[in-house]
Amino acid sequence: MSLLKEPDFGTPARAGDAGVELTIDGTTVAVPPGTSVMRAAAQAGCEVPKLCATDSLEAFGSCRLCVVEIDGARGTPASCTTPVAPGMVVRTQTEKLGRLRRGVMELYISDHPLDCLTCSANGDCELQDMAGVTGLREVRYGSGVDAGANHMDLLTDTSNPYFEFDPAKCILCSRCVRACDEVQGTLALTIEGRGFDSKVSPGAGGTFMESDCVSCGACVQACPTATLQEKTVVELGMPTRSVITTCAYCGVGCSFKAELRGSGDSTELVRMVPYKDGGANEGHSCVKGRFAFGYASHPDRVLTPRVRDSIADEWREVSWEEAITHTARRLRAIQAEHGTGSIGAITSSRCTNEEVYVVQKMVRAAFGNNNVDTCARVCHSPTGYGLNQTFGTSAGTQDFASVDDADVIMVIGANPTDAHPVFGSRMKKRLRQGARLIVADPRSIDLVRSPHIEAAHHLALNPGTNVAIVNAMAHVVVTEGLVDREFVDARCENIDEWEAFIADPAHSPEAVEEITGVPAAEVRAAARLYATAGNAAIYYGLGVTEHSQGSTMVMGMANLAMATGNIGRSGVGVNPLRGQNNVQGSCDMGSFPHELPGYRHVSDGSVREVYEQLWGTPLLDEPGLRIPNMFDSALDGSFRALFVQGEDIAQSDPNISHVHAALAALDLVVVQDLFVNETAKFAHVLLPGTSFLEKDGTFTNAERRINRVRPVMAARTGKQEWQIVCEIAQAMGYPMHYDDAAQIMDEIALTTPTFAGVSFAHLDAVGSVQWPCTTERPEGTPIMHVDGFVRGKGRFVVTPYVPTRERSNRRFPLILTTGRILSQYNVGAQTRRTANVAWHPEDVLELHPHDAEVRGVADGDRVELASRVGTTSLRAKISDRMPVGVCYTTFHHPVSGANVVTTDNSDWATNCPEYKVTAVQVTPSTALTAAAPAHEQTSVGAGRG
């Protein structure tokens, strides 16, 4: 398509029926109460000139270009700040208004560089457009550097790696400041000074990189001139066409306009602009999705297949035909020697639904077994188990917009502002509007206290005690008579057994205070706040699931929500914040060894029959191997070959030494990825993957939203990933072919009830849908369990607290927990190959000042981090964000190797690793070497979800 220009109505839409009728330039229009005259005029087809107004921000009324005449009103009011009224008669184009607007434009242009023809924003500048709209032909006032006081000698700030700030072109519309406040919620920008000395300022540091700016791009998008401009636009020129696609980073699933120049092999991606009609992001973005796309063209990309006989050998580049034939021949030979179950595959949450679907189909139909698992095993598998047991479906209950109706928000084991920043911004907006916040996290995350936000309760619990906390909160609900009896009696079962269990004094806040470290009074207050809110919502992350009791905790949160009636409407729910872009989708597509697509057990004969008839081959009714079982079986010799789709298990999985030993024991490791990652060191075949810019398919985000992923450019490898998988299956003797990715989705819809109404054509028409999407619900299901639970009645489950086996002692007295940082993504394969390393060049170990002092560690010192299973070295950062006895690190850089020290303890139900609780010791390091620069670090692939 050509360059997509989305309409801008000047001010935000207002909710409600279009009950206010008015006349604008002779046209009658009806709009909801509270709508601005400017927006009503735009809806009537009467565009009013504007500079300070844009429909992503509340009206400001500073530019004075949007003045109109209203019958019976004095003067010429600003249309952006004037609300409509019944019977109002408005004129937007009169001689008087024209004179006023030209006068305003003269003032702007008199203090603005007249370099339009050479300006990077030429053709995409609202100031330039408005000069034309107002008919400005001359400037009577002085202009240029020698014509009196002006701002044209101000220096450009180029400190940010992705955009530059040229104050000489600033018109002080405040759109950037307001975008930082209203959309992003960081409040990093301000207007400094008064009158002629007024200027946009990024704070005391003086530059954008020294400020609190998080480089989300909201200010750049809001800027109407070239004051804030992407460096890629400055370097490459303005884009000429757009493709709407979906971000391939976190589980928010933001929609973007990929804006391009050129065609064919000369196609250049100029910028990624968040799409206003994106259901998940509504025009907002973060630094990763907005700017960190350069990895797709990084010289490290593997573009040609490689094979070798032994991992000690050098790689040989081969043709696709040879690579596929070799892979299929080796897989068949291994099965012939070691049995049908001796091979398997791991799918990736970075890949599309269609790519994941064909891998699990290859395993079941071509391999003849159920040995398929996914990286969700090591992140959100407890979500699937716990929500399925209680609600009957393995997914979150709400859409993201639901948070706008929450009165109380409880964030447990999640850090939305770093890991899910676009949703985090939406949550912060709701909190600033008055919603109350409860944070349950050992660490003091940004949400605990940030500009205009402070948590009502921070439950700084000891790592590993989540279940004890949620049981204590439920105990308060039950024993203080806060159960929603009407909801529970009508819609739930097993309530009597659960209430008898939870009412036991052993679960009281006072009884568990010593276990959790949280004062009983604080727990009671938080429980009362949650239970008595009009709408209370739970949002949780890997700090819930990556524990030995991850599944128990998910069920505990579901119990709490059901007991208080916080299910089945907007503003409530139990909401997992998925890590990678398609964690939800990879689970939906049947990537687990015990489930076919749609979370249906392999033992269900009626479900197997659907696939057996379609696929033309019998399917096994027994679950296959999970990822940990694959590793153990590789070491005992019964599992011999592994296909790894876009997942770097040698970097991202726990107890790395064990994983490396298992991979080294395999006869064949096939890796499909963008780069030579840590797992590829153990591979015999390396198949090049495609970046999201080359994919055609769908991703499913954390709110069950199915978004189209459209190819921005042709696959640089010459093949789509699903094609490669199909060709391997065919070379093994199983016929498997699709003409395009749309056919794969058609098969998914044909066989998976929750996807029955999904097709590429439908998604292209409506934008996106949230499953279940069926013929009865063609627009999807934003809120689950409205009239009843998927399983019929919600089921209360008894959730005993069982302490983790991982305990601190004299040798390992500290507890390590891990997480993410805003600028980096998982183990960094993508983001480390972009300028995002400017913010996070290495992983650091956060230590409480007390723990650092007793160990003789100063801020910036290198330290050794040792656990029962391994040792690594990091730089220390002294911080009081952790309680005494707890330390914290990220896992984005392979040289730090956080998973060298994590153990193989795991969730009792799903084998999800216990990444969040590792007993460690920290000592000053004797090593003299620092971390390698980012460009020298070992390449790694996707990390845990």
pLDDT over 80 at 763, yes or no? yes
pLDDT over 60 at 868, yes or no? yes
pLDDT greater at residue 380 or residue 399: 399
pLDDT greater at residue 936 or residue 800: 800
pLDDT tens figures, 779-806: 999 999 999 999 999 999 999 999 999 9
pLDDT tens figures, 879-914: 999 999 999 998 887 777 777 888 888 888 888 888
pLDDT over 90 at 145, yes or no? no
Whether the Cβ atoms of residue 602 and residue 390 lie closer than 8 Å to each other: no
**273, amino acid identity:** V
Q: Is 892 helix (H, G, I), strand (E, B) or coil?
A: coil
Q: 134-155: string of b/e by CB count within 10 Å (b at 16+)?
A: bebeebeeebeeeeeebbbeee
Mean pLDDT on 244-258: 96
CATH architecture designation of domain 381-576: 3-Layer(aba) Sandwich (3.40)
Same fold? 163-297, 381-576: no
Distance CA 188, CA 179 (A): 10
Average pLDDT of the chain, as a whole number = 92
Q: What is the pLDDT of residue 535?
A: 97
Query: Please, which pLDDT band fits residue 578 given cuts at 50, 70 and 90?
Result: confident
Query: Please, which pLDDT band fits residue 936 given cuts at 50, 70 and 90?
Result: very low
pLDDT over 70 at 945, yes or no? no
pLDDT greater at residue 369 or residue 153: 369
Q: What is the pLDDT of residue 929?
A: 40
Distance CA 132, CA 122 (A): 13
CATH of 814-937, one of 2.40.40.20, 2.40.50.320, 3.40.50.12280, 1.10.3720.10: 2.40.40.20
pLDDT over 60 at 919, yes or no? yes
Distance CA 168, CA 334 (A): 68
Distance CA 565, CA 535 (A): 9
Distance between start and end Cα atoms, the chain? 34
Structural class in CATH, domain 163-297? alpha beta
Q: What is the pLDDT of residue 940?
A: 31
Distance CA 608, CA 597 (A): 11
Which candidate, 562, 564, 545, 546, places its Cα nearest to that of 554? 545
Neighbours of 841 (CB within 10 A): 17
Domain boundaries in the chain? 20-142, 163-297, 306-378+582-770, 381-576, 814-937
Which candidate, 491, 484, 440, 488, places its Cα nearest to that of 466? 440
For the chain, give the percent of residues with pLDDT over 70.
97
Q: Span 306-378+582-770: which CATH code?
A: 3.40.50.740
Distance CA 615, CA 736 (A): 9
pLDDT over 80 at 625, yes or no? yes
Structure-block tokens of residue 112 = 């603005």
Angle (CA) 227 232 234, round 5° = 50
Mean pLDDT on 657-684: 94
pLDDT over 60 at 569, yes or no? yes
pLDDT over 80 at 944, yes or no? no
Neighbours of 486 (CB within 10 A): 9
For the chain, give the percent of residues with pLDDT over 90.
83
Query: Please, which pLDDT band fits residue 707 given cuts at 50, 70 and 90?
Result: very high
Relative to beta strand 697-700, strand 705-709 is: antiparallel
Mean pLDDT on 673-695: 94
Q: What is the pLDDT of residue 207?
A: 93
Q: What is the pLDDT of residue 931?
A: 38
Whether the Cβ atoms of residue 246 and residue 256 lie closer than 8 Å to each other: yes
Least confidently predicted of 222-236, 344-358, 799-813, 918-932: 918-932
Q: Span 20-142: which CATH code?
A: 3.10.20.740
The angle that helices 741-751 and 353-361 make with each other, rounded to 10 degrees, is: 70
Structure pTM?
0.94
pLDDT over 70 at 442, yes or no? yes
Mean pLDDT on 572-591: 92
Query: Please, which pLDDT band fits residue 146 given cuts at 50, 70 and 90?
Result: low
Distance CA 771, CA 756 (A): 9
Query: Residue 299's Cα: distance from chain center in Å?
Result: 26
pLDDT tens figures, 39-80: 999 999 999 999 999 999 999 999 999 999 999 999 999 999
